Homo-oligomer: A and B are copies of this chain.
Amino acid sequence: MEKMNNKNKIFIDKLRSSGLRPTKQRVEISKFLFNRKKTFHFTVEELKNSMNLKRSKKISTATFYNTVHALKSAGHLKEFSLENNTSYYDTNITSHHHFFDNGKVIDIKSDKITFHKLPDAPKGKKIKNVEVVIRLENNNQ
């Protein structure tokens, strides 16, 4: 890539160090995903719509899917599921927990939940991770 202003350097490096060519599209998607203070939870379609809204030259659907998969494989995104039939992605790749509040997802830092009792893994298996979902509802009245 010719045009490599400093603002993009960090994302170009991130892509390159993951074995991904820092194409125009990947750099823009990475910047959109990772250039924020708070965790971002999203579906590929949401990502596509919000990024393409402000663009004259649209990025194709396939590229959004390809890039999100590539970033997930590289360990920069985690996938998770809500109750519908859509994959969600999480820019917080650490092991952590969630509040689910009517489709809205909020991170809970790992150390905010600790266990008093946990079952052993079945024979021949071991625990890879433990993740908690706390479902919320509105207070009465």
**A positions within 8 Å CB-CB of B:** 79-87, 99, 101, 106, 108, 112-119, 121-122, 124-139
Contacts of A124 in B (CB 8 A): 138-139
The winner among A101, A127, A136 for most chain B CB atoms within 10 A is A136
- Indicate which residue in B81, B112, B125, B138 contacts A138 across the interface (CB closer than 8 Å): B125
Complex alpha-carbon distance, A128 and B138, angstroms:
9
Counted per complex, copies of this chain come to 2
Distance, CA A136 to CA B87, complexed state (A): 21
Also in contact, A132 and B131, with CB within 8 A (given A81-B82, A122-B99, A122-B106): yes
Given contacts A114-B115, A137-B126, are A83 and B80 in contact (CB under 8 A)?
A: yes
Q: A81-B83, A122-B136 are in contact. List 15 more A-B contacts (CB 8 A).
A: A81-B82, A85-B86, A85-B87, A99-B121, A101-B125, A113-B117, A114-B116, A115-B116, A116-B116, A124-B139, A125-B137, A125-B138, A126-B138, A127-B136, A130-B134
Contact of A139 among B119, B126, B130, B131 (CB under 8 A): B126
Chain B nearest CB from A96 CB (Å) reads: 11
Q: CB-CB < 8 A to A136: which residues of B?
A: 121-122, 125-128
A135 to B122, CA, bound (A): 11
Q: Known contacts A133-B131, A136-B128: does B119 contact A112 (CB below 8 Å)?
A: yes
Chain B residues with Cβ below 8 Å from A80 are: 83
